[in-house]
Every structure is written in structure tokens, then in C-alpha cells.
Amino acid sequence: MAKETKQILDKIAIGDRLELKPSSSEGADYCQAVILGMIPSQCLLVSLTQSDQLSGIKKGAILDGRLFQGDDILGFRAAIVHVSKRPHQIVSIEIPKFFSQTDMRVWPRVPTLEYLNLAVKNETTGALKLYKGKMSNISLSGAGLDIPTSMGKPGDRISLRFRLGSDGEEYDITMHAIIRQMRPRAHNKLALRKSWFFHGVEFDLPRMKGEDKLNLQGYIYEQSKTLSH
């Protein structure tokens, strides 16, 4: 077992989220899962969410997985040791012997999303509003937002709620952020909406829920794969 692999396994904790899919099913969607425990040098005990179930799996089948730790996405392949289907799927998989590691900070930023519905609360002023705008340059650290009005000034803390699609699924994501820059679009002749305002926001990752972070990471990962092809 490589030193790097041991360091990764040492950081795994009960409740960590990961994604799994059958290695033999080309084009299959990843399913959301959570780690229930680990028997060192033997297996990981993983529970599939009630809405995400792997079909046709059995002992000995090979799964492709990806685990998110910090800014890294850790890909692995492992065989199933045991499957229990009650009350929902609980799968024991071999301890991965190797992880492919990718730093999310070096991935390309995701292109603009058109007409994204945003619920924004300015935590500094208490204002809560709904907008239909555009999100651009999405990364794990932040994004750009174009909306019809100013939602605050640089330094204001806000919370955002929006919907993103990953692996053919759509997820509602809630996150906290800080407005780092704000400027009107009137000076930009190429702007589709010259009266709109651009906001550069920095995501507050320590305050983000695990599931929201996982879904955002999954979205960035999928879009980055598309951009690289």
C-alpha cells in the first residue's frame, strides 16, 4: 500500500460522502453514498442513499468510485465483498489499493449557465430576494453572478440557493458567500443586459453542508471532463 494511499485512508471518517457506479456499465450515472465504517486492511462499509440504488450488483463485481477530500477528488476501483439490501443497499467494498488524485483548484472554470433561478439573502442587511440571472466561471472557490440589480456591496455576506445538474441529476445547492466585487454592466457593449450588475463572489466552504459541497464538486468534475474533450 503506497504511503499516499495510507494517508488518504487515515483521513476517512464515518459520514464521509462518496459516489459509486458499476465499472462494467459504461455511461452509467454515479450514485450517492455515505461511509458507515471501515475494517482496516479489509473493507469499507458504504450505505447507498434511499434515492440512489445500484441495480444488478453482486459479490465480486467491480465498482468505480470517487471520494472527495478537501480540494482533491480521489478516484478508485474496488470489488464488492458483500451486499445487503435491507432496509436499503449497504455494500462492503475492498479497501482501495490505489487512488488517482486530482486537485480541483487546477480544473477549468465552468462556462456560463443561462437564466439560473437564484434565491439570495444578504446576511449583512437581511434582505431576501429572488432573481433570474446568470452564473459564470464556477469553481469550488467562487463564481460570477449577473443579475438585474445590485444584491449588495463588496464585503457583504450572502447566502445563495440555486439548482445545478450533475450526472443527469439536478440538485438544489445552498451556500454562503462573500461579495468581493460588484460593478454595473452598462460599460460593457457586449453585455446582453446592459442594466445588469456583475457580482464576483467567494464561496465560504467551511460553512457549506457536506451534501451541497459534494454536489458542487460533482458538477465541476463532470463539466471539467466535458471541457477537456
- Whether residues 157 and 183 share a domain: the answer is yes
DSSP letter assigned to residue 29? P
| Structural domain that includes position 69 | 3-103
Would residue 108 count as lying in a domain?
no
pLDDT tens for each residue of 176-222? 998 988 888 754 444 445 578 889 898 887 788 878 888 888 788 77
In a domain, 134, yes or no: yes
| pLDDT number for residue 71 | 60
> Which is nearest to 135 in space by CA: 156, 111, 154?
111
- Name the one residue in this structure whose C-alpha cell is 489499493: 97
Same domain, 95 and 118: no
CATH number for position 17: 2.30.110.10
Task: Give the end of a domain, one of 103, 135, 160.
Answer: 103
Last residue of a domain, one of 103, 129, 158: 103
Query: 146-164 pLDDT, tens per residue?
Result: 888 888 888 888 999 998 8
Q: Do 95 and 2 contact (CB within 8 A), yes or no?
A: no
Global confidence as pTM: 0.55
Whole-number pLDDT of residue 191: 45
The model's confidence at residue 77, banded by pLDDT at 50, 70 and 90, is very high
Q: Is pLDDT of 37 > 80? A: yes
Q: Which residue has the higher pLDDT, 73 or 82?
A: 82
Do 125 and 220 fall into the same domain?
yes
Same domain, yes or no: 72 and 38? yes
Assess contact for 207 and 176: CB atoms under 8 A: yes
pLDDT higher than threshold 70 for residue 108: no
